[in-house]
Structure 1
Amino acid sequence: MSEPASESSAPSVLEVRGLVSGYDRGTVLHGVDLDLAAGEVLGLLGRNGAGKSTLVMTLAGLVPAGAGSVRLDGRELAGQRPDRIARAGVALVPQGRRVWATLTVSEHLALAARPGAWTVGAVLDLLPRLAERRRHYAGQLSGGEQQMLAVARALLTSPRLVLLDEPSEGLAPAVVDQVAGVVATLRDEGVAVLLVEQDLHLAFAVAGEIAVMEKGVLVHRVPTPEFRRDPATAHRLLGVA
């Protein structure tokens, strides 16, 4: 896995202020503040039910914001439809991959492609296994191949911000290493990445900073080396050594 870059001094791509959202059963996010710079990877950790996936879904517009502001490159996105948020430069790699089983790899890529830095050729160069499987239906792919397809679909929108929700879930270590390589490439290309992850090895390998969410609020954020040197805080917040 690639080593994470040091903290970026680039201007913020994402600025979140006082973000509130939830579902019919109640509020989940309670005033989240968050900044991400170009080329910055933030590893977001937290116990189950802390609100991590809700944050990702709210940033993508799939869960409506009840209050607060979400700005991408200064443009307000809170309250916008998911398709408009995607066109503004936000790409989501959802938990569980959510590919269309009856479409081929090539059809997925064709549907996702839009003018920008990432072309189908560039994506297939980065993920050569997909090139070998272009004619296969997504339902015929392994879990790791489906995850790479979900990542490829996001890249083809040429995003400014990528939201990765548990990308290592259920994957073999070799595929997790591929995910890490993709995240490192995005970081080097100046894309901001919010990585929700339970695999601490992956988060530590690619994230310049680690944040922890608890009960719908970000309660802790420090550079990754500092987080790793403080196991007592990690145990208190996450219940892990």
Structure 2
Amino acid sequence: MSFLEVSGLVSGYDRGTVLHGLDLDLDAGAVLGLLGRNGVGKSTLIMTLAGLVPVSSGSIRLHDVELAGKRPDQIARAGVALVPQGRRVWATVTVAEHLALSSSRSRGGTWTVDSVLDLLPRLAERRRHYAGQLSGGEQQMLAVARALLTNPRLVLLDEPSDGLAPAIVDQIAGVVTTMRAEGVTVVLVEQDLHLAFGVADEIAVMEKGALVHRAPTAQFRRDPDTAHRLLGVA
């Protein structure tokens, strides 16, 4: 049995359905790079898994616990952490306060404030600053730290490289690699193929609210015709 099992997932918004019977399974500790053109439902899938978009039908099971229909706070307590697109940190709250709030909701485990600051030392230097005073890259690291401090079993990363310098993207890759080494399962939605290929065990591609292709990363990279057909890239 897979760690994460999604079957027949249907979800969307008032204006219509976005996910059309999507199926997905992941083993514990795996990193899945989720690719696709704009508007195919990648972020909707991430938000549905986090409980922020309602499930119309289907199942989401995490280690044999049904999450479909549960509130976002219940899903978070089950071990799911979201790093949303656009970071969404609280501008008038300090770095230290962000970390304290997140660690207070921890399930207990490897990640503590000290271990996160060891992994992301720039945050230690900026811990007295308000989040609104941080650069975009520093805010992204804060969003990642906030997720790690809950000691999650599944991390959902939605476009973490968006708008960031290559050096910061490399740091994100290092953090994802560390997550995998700690046995954390990761779903990474990403447009930066260098990042996705560098950290993901497998690549999955979405079209029109469903997964249409999935392959080990090395195999996907050896198949440029499929990449061009599905993504429009060489």
| TM-score between the two structures when normalised by the length of structure 1 | 0.95
User: Unaligned regions of 5+ residues in structure 2, if any?
Assistant: none
Q: CA deviation at 1:86?
A: 0.4
Q: CA deviation at 1:36?
A: 1.1
What residue in structure 2 maps to residue 72 of structure 1?
Answer: 62
Residue 53 of structure 1: SS of its match in structure 2? helix
What residue in structure 2 maps to residue 94 of structure 1?
Answer: 84
Q: Supply the distance in 2 between the matched residues of 1:163 and 1:145 (Cα, whole angstroms).
A: 19
Q: Supply the distance in 1 between the matched residues of 2:25 and 2:228 (Cα, whole angstroms).
A: 25
State how many pairs are aligned: 231
What residue in structure 2 maps to residue 13 of structure 1?
Answer: 3
Do 1:143 and 1:171's aligned partners in 2 also have CA atoms closer than 8 Å? yes
For residues 69-111 of structure 1, give each alpha carbon's deviation from its aligned partner in whole angstroms, at most 9, with x where no partner exists. 0011110000000000001000000000000000000000011
What residue in structure 2 maps to residue 212 of structure 1?
Answer: 205
Q: Does 1:197 align with 2:181?
A: no
Q: Does 1:131 align with 2:121?
A: no
What residue in structure 1 maps to residue 227 of structure 2?
Answer: 234
User: Unaligned regions of 5+ residues in structure 1, if any?
Assistant: 1-10
| TM-score between the two structures when normalised by the length of structure 2 | 0.98
Do 1:19 and 1:68's aligned partners in 2 also have CA atoms closer than 8 Å? yes
For residues 32-88 of structure 1, give each alpha carbon's deviation from its aligned partner in whole angstroms, at most 9, with x where no partner exists. 111111110000000000000000000000001110000111100000000000010
Amino acid aligned to 1:43 = G
Q: Supply the distance in 1 between the matched residues of 2:222 and 2:114 (Cα, whole angstroms).
A: 41
What residue in structure 2 maps to residue 46 of structure 1?
Answer: 36
Q: CA deviation at 1:117?
A: 1.9
Q: Supply the distance in 2 between the matched residues of 1:186 and 1:175 (Cα, whole angstroms).
A: 17
Residue 3 of structure 2: SS of its match in structure 1? strand
Identity across the alignment (%): 82
Q: CA deviation at 1:12?
A: 2.1
- Which has the higher mean CA deviation after the structures are superposed, 202-211 or 111-120? 111-120
Q: Supply the distance in 2 between the matched residues of 1:102 and 1:34 (Cα, whole angstroms).
A: 38
Q: CA deviation at 1:116?
A: 2.3
Q: Does 1:58 align with 2:48?
A: yes
Residue 150 of structure 2: SS of its match in structure 1? coil
Q: Supply the distance in 1 between the matched residues of 2:170 and 2:36 (Cα, whole angstroms).
A: 22
Q: Supply the distance in 2 between the matched residues of 1:66 and 1:45 (Cα, whole angstroms).
A: 23
After the TM superposition, list the runs of 4 or more consecutive aligned residues in structure 1 that deviate by more than 2 angstroms.
Answer: none
Do 1:13 and 1:161's aligned partners in 2 also have CA atoms closer than 8 Å? no
Q: Supply the distance in 2 between the matched residues of 1:103 and 1:198 (Cα, whole angstroms).
A: 30
What residue in structure 1 maps to residue 111 of structure 2?
Answer: 118
